[in-house]
Amino acid sequence: MQDSRSPASRVLIANAYPLLREAVGRLIESAGGLDVCGLCGELTELPEQVEQTRPDLILLEISADGCSSLEVIAEVHRRWPTVKLLLTSLRDQVALIARGMQHGARGHASWREEPDELVAAVRQVLRGEDRLTATVARHLVRHTVGGDSSDGHWVGSLSDRELAVFEAIGQGLTCKQIARLLDVSTRTVESHRKTIRVKLKLSNSTRLMQMAVQWACSKDSCPDIDLASKD
């Protein structure tokens, strides 16, 4: 639906799940003044779709591996600095959201919000405002001004790839599972684990696991881990 008084803002939806893409697309289209100009299911295809559709805003799901999303956010912001990026996720992945905003995103919306709240978030970012859920905003304030190391502000010292590995460790994934998730070798994952331990001053792998799980659970979003699927 388009407002006859002014052109509708163009929204590109990037999400790996077809059902969710279609549902969110219908929601955005029905809101008025917003036009879905494209649906993208693969992060690797997003820059090409941005080039073709020229959106005003991209609704971008934070991918499972995290790092791929950050790389795409940085590329899109570099090539199309006027295109606004609103991140979406089910979990409040605070470290990834914060890093995404450093790379050019303007905020985050959770799939646990009401539909009208998602539409409001889209409009807010289109107006040039930053937008965060209350939970994420609270944690980000603690990270930046609270100085509370137990809340994890120290993860800022990690690179994008190290942060993705750290998040995966906190979700209970093994080295082999993380390697498949990030499309790297297990040796590379082990190297990242060692670097993370050094940066975070953790004495051993057990302490690394404890800290990563604590970080994941502190976001009120501990996932259900399928122990049967572990190698």
Q: Per DSSP, what are the bridge partners of residue 40?
A: 14
Instruction: Give the SS3 label for residue 13.
Output: strand
Q: May I ask the CATH class of domain 149-229?
A: mainly alpha
What is the Cα Rg of the chain in Å? 18
- Identify whether the C-beta of residue 63 lies closer than 8 Å to the C-beta of residue 43: yes
CA dihedral 15, 140, 211, 157 (to 10 degrees): 90
Q: What is the DSSP letter of 113?
A: S
Chain mean position to CA 110: 10
Q: What is the DSSP letter of 36?
A: E
Q: Which of 47-61, 104-118, 196-210 is the least confident region?
A: 196-210
pLDDT of residue 219: 52
pLDDT of residue 31: 93
pTM of the predicted model, to two decimals? 0.68
Q: Which of 14-28, 101-115, 162-176 is the least confident region?
A: 162-176
Residue extent(s) of CATH 3.40.50.2300 domains in the chain: 9-138
How much is the average pLDDT of 112-133?
Answer: 92
Residue extent(s) of CATH 1.10.10.10 domains in the chain: 149-229
Q: Which residues contact 149 (CB under 8 A, 6 or more apart)?
A: none
Q: Using 50, 70 and 90 to split pLDDT, how confident is the model at 3?
A: very low
Q: What is the largest CA-CA distance in the chain?
A: 63
Q: Using 50, 70 and 90 to split pLDDT, how confident is the model at 75?
A: very high
Q: Which option is the CATH number for 9-138: 3.20.20.140, 3.20.20.70, 1.10.10.10, 3.40.50.2300? A: 3.40.50.2300
Enter the tokens of residue 123: 């409009």
Q: Is the pLDDT of residue 47 over 60?
A: yes
Q: Can you tell me the distance from the alpha carbon of 47 to that of 44, in angstroms, rounded to the nearest whole number? A: 7
